[in-house]
Amino acid sequence: MQNNYFKILGIHVIIGIVIYYSRAIGDLYFFSMVVYLFYRITNAPQSLKPYEVVMACTYVLASEVILRMTNSSLFYEASKYLVIIFCLIGILYKGFQARALLYLFYIILLIPGIYVSLYLLDISANIRKAVAFNLSGPVCLGVSAMFCYGVSITRKQLGQIINFGIYPLVSTLVFIIMYNPDVSLIATGTSSNFAASGGFGPNQVSTVLGLGAFFMSVKFFYYSKTPLERYLNLVLFLLFSFRAIVTFSRGGVLTAIIMILFFILYQYRKMDKKNKTKMLVSVFLFLGMAAATWVYSTIETNGFIEKRYANENARGIEKEDVTTGRGTLFAREVAEFLENPLFGVGVGRIKDIRFQKTGIHAASHNEMSRIISEHGLFGILAFSILLLAPLFFRFGDRSNVLFFSFYFFWLLTINHSAMRIAAPAFIYGLSLIHVTNDKPRLHRQQAEK
């Protein structure tokens, strides 16, 4: 199993390199991925199909950014639709719990906003694209939650799911390094840096690299079997962290830090005194290397990264708005809700309304204010379901060691990057899975005797 982990990591390092030199290979990678994942799901034993679906969706969400970087999928939102299709297949195989119908109700609550858009959008607007683009993420989340609610996996299987997230993220990391190996040459200010993000949106890149750093920290503390694997995982954590930091997009980095803190604190609380001492040693090593990564990032960015996180511009002058204008956009979306409280302004309309009123053609990147402004009271009810349902689930099922990390990844990501990518949608679903202890091998051996 360990050798397979190393081999597959190596293969994905090569994939990242090859796609960088030949973008056409990205198309081959996409279609091969789809065929392979469908094959795994359809050929798995009935009892393992839900587990295979979870792994397939995790792989898809982790590969989304590199596919977008290279225009290598059928269309821009293909990864979200793939996750939806895989989850629907999973539901057909396993069904879903009655309590998961709450998420079907959540999807239904989004429908009135569509009718408002159909009625009010300018006849020249591309209604289908406006609605599909703005609802692909929320629908992906609803379907993911319906499928994942109550899916049961073992802790060992959870480790494999994390591996399936790591593999394409390593390809993404390698591609970004190949795109710009020397950050010091392009660090000339404190704005989000496209060159350090593989030529793609720093917000999305920071999000997935931060997710990669979290996955590697889980591997380091929880799933490393040998010293070699442990230190390889630590090195990969440092690489993910460094490249996430130098995108100059803070959201993904801060989200990863919070996810890691929740994971470490949860693990520490569950340990006995002897293991707590070992854990503290690992934590000090981990924090020391993380601090070294920050120092190296400061050097490589000519000190600009410190100014970025201190909310200063390139000259060291503190900026008035720490949210870089997003707070203002959030307030305006809330104002639109107050003007249209029942049904909202309609799906996909808030950006156009903002442009008509202010001349600002920008998205707020905040899913919370978007769903409220575009769906009105229906949106408030829909978001309340998303916010509270996992917490009630947690009261009755405390088995998922990564529950809080997954839950806060969703909540924090939608507040700085909305649902532009599939990651927050399906990671939300992962907070609803049930994790069991692995069956002791010794007991099985004795039974066989």
List the chain domain ranges. 2-438
Whole-prediction pTM: 0.93
pLDDT at 147 over 70: yes
The model's confidence at residue 121, banded by pLDDT at 50, 70 and 90, is low
Mean pLDDT for all residues in the chain:
89
* pLDDT the model gives residue 334: 85
* pLDDT the model gives residue 376: 93
* pLDDT the model gives residue 39: 96
Rounded Cα distance between 60 and 77, Å, is 12
Least confident of 106-110, 112-116, 239-243, 372-376: 112-116
Residues 66-97: tens digit of each pLDDT: 999 999 988 889 999 999 999 999 999 988 88
Rounded Cα distance between 37 and 213, Å, is 24
The model's confidence at residue 322, banded by pLDDT at 50, 70 and 90, is low
Q: How much is the average pLDDT of 217-234?
A: 92
The model's confidence at residue 341, banded by pLDDT at 50, 70 and 90, is confident
pLDDT at 447 over 60: no
The model's confidence at residue 127, banded by pLDDT at 50, 70 and 90, is low
Residues 27-37: tens digit of each pLDDT: 999 999 999 99
pLDDT at 335 over 90: no
Least confident of 97-111, 292-306, 323-337: 323-337
Percent of the chain with pLDDT over 70: 92
Residues 387-431: tens digit of each pLDDT: 999 999 999 899 999 999 999 999 999 998 889 899 999 999 999
Say if residues 324 and 308 touch (Cβ distance below 8 Å).
Answer: no
